[in-house]
């Protein structure tokens, strides 16, 4: 067991915590390796004899878990990058044609039968696939306004999928 005083880690953002560049593309294997290293380094049980280090380890361990969860998911990572790169987001409205298509899907859910449920699910999945492709492209090219719009679409589609499954 380690007993030395533990220094507070850099928690300014998840990328810097792992020593990674703040960008959408990242090496998933390196991220996992950094997560595991930090998990070992900041395991609270190693610092049970020093309350200050124990509290630091507890905080760092929780931060490590949250950082990995966010950076390991493309959607969460894109959303997090959007927060970092464009903290003053403008209120945007979704395009009218998208909203009309979603209105039709909402109506189809209202009138859903077992027969057409799979058709509705397929349409939502197709929109989600298209949205994910757009999110990836916008995040890679650092087009923050576009990314914001695609993230709004994604959230709408997630709510629609949840409504279908309820």
Q: Which residue has the higher pLDDT, 120 or 50?
A: 120
Determine the average pLDDT of the residues in 12-22. 94
Which pLDDT belongs to residue 2?
52
Structure tokens at 122: 């397929």
Q: What is the dihedral of CA 75, 77, 82, 84, to 10 degrees?
A: 160
Which pLDDT belongs to residue 49?
87
Q: Which residue has the higher pLDDT, 97 or 4?
A: 97
User: What SS3 class is residue 161?
Assistant: helix
pTM of the model: 0.85
Q: What is the dihedral of CA 91, 97, 102, 107, to 10 degrees?
A: 130
Q: Is residue 1 over pLDDT 70?
A: no
Rounded Cα gap, residues 134 and 90, in angstroms: 19
Which pLDDT belongs to residue 5?
54
Which pLDDT belongs to residue 82?
93
């Amino acid at each position: 067991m380690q007993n030395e005083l533990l220094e507070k880690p850099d928690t300014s953002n998840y990328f810097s915590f792992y020593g990674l560049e703040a960008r959408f593309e990242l090496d998933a294997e390196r991220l996992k390796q950094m997560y595991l290293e930090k998990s070992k380094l900041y395991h609270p049980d190693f610092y049970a004899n020093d309350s200050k280090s124990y509290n630091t380890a507890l905080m760092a361990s929780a931060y490590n878990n949250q950082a990995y969860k966010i950076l390991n998911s493309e959607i969460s990572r894109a959303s997090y990058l959007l927060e970092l790169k464009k903290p003053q987001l403008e209120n945007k409205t979704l395009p009218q044609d998208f909203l009309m298509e979603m209105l039709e899907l909402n109506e189809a859910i209202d009138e859903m039968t077992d027969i057409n449920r799979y058709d509705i699910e397929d349409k939502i999945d197709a929109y989600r696939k298209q949205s994910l492709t757009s999110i990836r492209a916008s995040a890679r090219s650092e087009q923050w306004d576009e990314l914001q719009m695609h993230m709004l679409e994604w959230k709408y589609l997630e709510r629609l999928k949840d409504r279908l499954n309820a």
